[in-house]
Every structure is written in structure tokens, then in C-alpha cells.
Amino acid sequence: MGVYLNPGNSGFTRIVESDYVDKTGLIGLLNRTIGTTKNLTCISRPRRFGKSYAAQMLCAYYDKTCDSHELFNGFKISQDPTYEKHIGKYDVIYLDMTQLMGEAGKDSFIDFIKQKVTEELLTCYPEVKKDSAFSTILINAVEHTGNKIIIIIDEWDAPIRENQNIAERYLEFLRTLFKSSGTTSKIFAAAYMTGILPVKKQKGQSAVSDFKEYAMIKPRQYGEYVGFTEQEVRKLCDQHNVSFDLMKQWYDGYEFKDVGAVYNPNSVMQAIDNDDFDSYWTETSAAEGLMEYISKPYNGMTKTIAELIGGVDVKVNTIGFANDLITFKGRDDVLTLMIHLGYLAYNSEIKTVHIPNEEIKLEFQKAVREVDHEATLKRLEESDQLFLDTLEMKEEAVASQIEQIHREETAPLHYSKEDSLCSVIKLAYYTYRDHYLQFEELPSGDGYADIVYLPKRDSDWPVLVIELKWNESAYAAINQIKNRKYPESLKGYGNDILLVGINYDKDALAGKRKHSCKIEKYRME
């Protein structure tokens, strides 16, 4: 066993000895690509979404220098018809690009890779004919052993993300390994690359064109391996006596076709281990770049961020993104990058993005307060004041601010139904995360409250129950809250509840405010 050639199964052994969620079905998908023209696979997903776990799993399965049957027996892959055909049958080259750059330096890691892999190959197979060309040495090794190589590249895009100066040389290195003119077919049974970004585009085309790519925008058949599925999270919550509803509120929000809800696996396990629902996103370096991205001075960017934080779905065009951290042509490229980084969840059917869960909402809330945008800072001040006016029951001030948000942020043609009014309310109260958790259509009493703000544990602010009406009255909204007994289900959140009724009068006379507000205190008996 070596470091870069045939690293063995110790890494995956350590993983399965903890609370391992069975993701070995991924192996079966890769096995079906071996010996085909689809044997080059690149899977991109955000940090802390299990990329390295998957790489360690593949090393353990394919490495011919160790018997991993005992390790995989009982997992899903052991029932797959391809299981015995490929387990322990290959020489495996494993390259962790982040680690390699740390060991060799950002400018010399490519030569370091060639040197170290060659040394380990020749140590293992001294009879292999030497050559000055790295790819030729690999071909000679395959001819000597009689079987092809599985190559696994973890964090493949780290060199491009961290050192743009060597990007072209690095991509050329990959092209020499994976070009279609014979080299790939002679050397590799399969290649598996994982990173945050899809393969970089040059002149609109993929720089390493033969890879089949599965990204956060369209993970396709690999969707269930992006993170934890809802069924897997329910099982974990049952095993550890943890609230599934809170787990969903904090870490759900990504959704893929034929898979459904997908959760951030690192955050789920951290919440279970620490017995605490919190933002664990800050423990990744991804969080450091959020302020930079939302500060981009593109047309409409400030309004877009306000809509996202307010809980509004935003249209995005993901076509044309260059798959790097520096080439931006406008707002859509920034939003597309944030999809790949996990800051935003993408709906591929209607082509919109939204902030996926409470964890990421907190990161946006922190970052937006440090953005040097006059318009953004003004909106923050207005939203903070709106909360104070609501708590002090200043009905005219609340109605006036909601009117302003409607006028500034909502296209009149689209402002014609209650869900549009709901969007305006969320935009107006968009600093709620300092003190509250936000729920829409919360089951309460004999119906569903439109918007409820539940105070966080460390907040002494009251519960806010907001009901919206269209061409009726704010009094009618308050009466609905009472008649349907919405507050009855909120007893566990304190005795102080404010009922907020907001109405939009579409046909209000010229010069008269279209929004009205009524606020009442409700005391639990």
C-alpha cells in the first residue's frame, strides 16, 4: 500500500465505524461505466457534503492490495450484480489536490504528482519500463500488470480556486491524462473527480471535454449521493431521539428530481453530535467568500439579495457560467456560483433559486450587515425599524413601510394576489433572523397562519402572527386569527403574542394608502 498508489481501506474503515449513512450505491453507478465511453465522471458539490468520504469509499472498494469484502458486506453495494466483478481488482491512484498543494506548494504540485506516483509505481512494479512522459509510464504499468487503473481525484478544482496563475498548466496536465485520442482508453478503467465546481469552461466549452458532469444544478442519477435524503435523516433522528421537524427547518432546502429533499450531511451530524441546532456552515471556508459575492456591483444585485433574504424565489439563467471564482459577466453568474457553493438551492424545473434553510439564512444575515452598499444598509435600517414599530404597535408606521416596499420592489403587474403580498411582507421583515425563526403556512388551530415569527431561545421578543387579506380589511385578518384559534398551538413559545393583520386594498382611491394594518396583543390564558 502507498500514499498515492493503492492507499488501502483504512480511511473508509474509520468512516464506517462512526454513524455511517450507507452511500455505497454510488459504487454500482460507477461500476456500470467501466469499459464504456462514459467512464470519466466528475461530481461537484459544496464543501462538507461528503466528497472525501466518497473518495475514501471508492479507494477501499477498488484497491487490489486489500480485501474489503468484510468492510462492504451488509451495505447496499454488496447486493449489486456488479459487486464481485470489480471489488479489489484494480490499481488505484488517489490524488487529494488540496493536500498535494500543501505538501508540494501551489506552483510545483504537478511535477510532485508525477514524481511521487512514478516512484510508487516503480517500487511496486520494478519491471515497468521508465519514460520521461508520465502518461507513457502509466501505459507501461498497465501493459505490465494486465489491468487498467482507477484514478480518484479529490477536490479536483482546488488548484483553479486557489491559484489562477497555474490553471492553464493544470488543465493541460488533466488533458494529457484524459484526452480522447487513445491515452484514456489505454490507461484508465474509470476516473472519478470530485470538487466544488464543474470542469472549467474555456471559450464556452469544457476544458476536459470527455467527463460526464453531475453538478448541483443537475446531479441527475447521482442526486441521492449529494447529501442525506429525507428518509436517511428521519432514521438518524429516530436513532438519536432528535426532532426531525427542527432538523428539516435548519438543514433541508436542496431538492432534486426523483430524489426529493436533500440535507447538508455535515450539519446534520454536527447537530446530532452536539445536541444543538446551529449554523455549522461557518466552520467551512466557503462562508468567508459570501460577502464578496453578494457585494458584486451588478445591476439588480442589491434587490436580488433582499428578495432572497426575504424568502422570495428569484429567476436565474445558469447558462454561460465559466465555472471559476473570478469570471463574472453579471448577476446570473454570481447566483450560479452560489448554487455550486451551496448558498442557494436551484429549482431546475422553473429555473429559480432560494436560500435553502435556516443555517444558510443566518450566514446571509451576518454577511449582509457588513456589505458596503448604501441601499442595502438603508434596507437593513428600515427593516430593523419596522420590527420596533410592530412591537410598539405603531400601525400607521407599519402600513407605511410595507407600502414603501411594495412601491419600490414589486412590479405592479405581478402584485395581484396574496402570495405577492406575502413576498412583500417577507421583504419588509427581512432582518427577522436576529430574533426569530420564520414559518409560512404554519399549521395553527383550525387552519394555517400565513406567516409566523417564533422567537429564538435567547430572544425575549413576542411571537408575531401575521395574517394577510386582499381587498377586505386588516380587522378581518385579526378576526380570522382569533376565530381559527391560531395562537392556541403556540403556547410553548411564551405568553406574549402580537396579532398583526395586513390588508391590501387594490381599489383604494387615488392618494389613499393601499395597505392597512391592525395590531393587537393576545394573552395566552
The DSSP annotation for 16-54 comes to HTSS----THHHHHHHTTTTSTT-EEEEE--TTSSHHHH
Q: Is the domain of 232 the same as that of 170?
A: no
- Is the confidence at residue 416, as pLDDT, over 60? no
End-to-end CA distance of the chain: 70
Q: Which carries the bigger pLDDT value, residue 72 or residue 307?
A: 72
- 5 belongs to a structural domain: no
Question: Which residues have a Cβ under 8 Å from the Cβ of 106 and sit 6 or more positions away?
Answer: 159, 162, 163, 166
| Alpha carbon distance 312, 335 (integer Å) | 14
Last residue of a domain, one of 214, 248, 276: 214
Q: Is 64 a residue whose pLDDT tops 90?
A: yes
pLDDT beyond 70 at 511? no
Contact assessment for residue 184 and residue 210, using Cβ atoms and an 8 Å cutoff: yes
Mean pLDDT confidence for 419-429: 80
Amino acid at site 47: R
Q: Beta strands 496-504 and 188-195: pairing type? A: unpaired
If asked whether residues 24 and 142 sit together in one domain, one would say: yes
Q: Same domain, yes or no, for 390 and 345?
A: no
Q: Answer with the one of 316, 339, 368 that is the final residue of a domain.
A: 368
State the Cα angle at 476 between 472 and 479, rounded to 5°.
170
What whole-number percentage of the chain has pLDDT above 90? Answer: 53
Residue 104 has a pLDDT of 83
Q: How far apart are CA 331 and CA 308, in angstroms?
A: 13
Is residue 473 one of the residues assigned to a domain? Answer: yes
Q: How far apart are CA 461 and CA 338, in angstroms?
A: 32
Q: Same domain for 53 and 163? A: yes
| Listed range (25-39, 221-235, 495-509) with the worst mean pLDDT | 495-509
> Residue 134 is which amino acid?
F
498: domain range? 374-523
Mean pLDDT of 404-424: 66
Residue 19 covered by a domain: yes
Orientation of helix 418-428 relative to helix 301-309, angle to 10°: 100
pLDDT tier at 286 (50, 70, 90 boundaries)? very low
Can you name the residues that pair with 42 across neighbouring β-strands?
Answer: 193, 213
Read off the pLDDT of residues 361-403 as tens digits, 9 standing for 90 and up: 888 877 777 766 666 777 788 888 999 999 999 999 999 999 8
Whether the CB-CB separation of 467 and 477 falls below 8 Å is answered with yes
Domain co-membership, 389 together with 243: no
Calculate the average pLDDT of the chain.
Answer: 87
Judged against a pLDDT cut of 60, whether residue 411 lies above it is answered with: no
- Residue 507 CA to residue 504 CA, distance in Å, equals 9
Residue at a domain's end among 186, 214, 242 = 214
Give the domain CATH number at 38. Answer: 3.40.50
Query: Quick check: 414 pLDDT over 70?
Result: no
Asked whether the predicted pLDDT for residue 254 surpasses 60, the reply is: yes
Please report, as a single letter, which amino acid is at residue 421: L
412 and 359 within one domain: no
Residues 65 and 180 in one domain: yes
Residue 95: pLDDT band (50, 70, 90) is: very high
**Closest to 277 measured CA to CA, from 359, 332, 166, 186:** 359
CA-to-CA distance for 304 and 247, rounded, in angstroms? 27
CB atoms inside a 10 Å sphere around CB 239: 10
- 400-424 in b/e form (b: 16+ CB < 10 A) is ebbbebbeebbeeeebeeeebbbbb
pLDDT 10s digits, 4-15:
999 999 999 999
134-145 and 109-124 are packed helices; what angle lies between their axes, rounded to 10 degrees? 20
Return the DSSP state at 200.
Answer: P
pLDDT > 80? residue 457: no
Does 182 share its domain with 234?
no
| Residue that wins the pLDDT comparison between 311 and 24 | 24
Question: Within its chain, how far is the Cα of 468 from the centroid?
Answer: 32
Same domain for 183 and 37: yes
Note whether 44 and 161 are within 8 A (CB).
no
pTM: 0.80
Which position has the grid cell 395597505?
515
pLDDT in tens, 46-61: 988 989 999 999 999 9
Are residues 468 and 399 located together in one domain of the fold?
Answer: yes
Residue 144: pLDDT band (50, 70, 90) is: very high
H or E element, residue 506: none
Which pLDDT does position 5 carry in this prediction? 96
Q: How far apart are CA 50 and CA 228, in angstroms?
A: 10
202 CB contacts (<8 Å, ≥6 apart)? 171
Taking only the tens place, the pLDDT of each residue in 207-247 is: 577 889 999 999 999 999 999 999 999 999 999 999 999 99
Q: How many domains does the chain divide into? A: 3
* 2 located within any domain: no
Q: Higher-confidence residue: 204 or 492?
A: 492
| 379 shares a domain with 500 | yes
Q: Could you tell me where the DSSP H helices lie in 74-108?
A: 83-86, 97-104
My answer on whether 411 and 266 are in the same domain is: no
For residue 285, pLDDT beyond 70: no
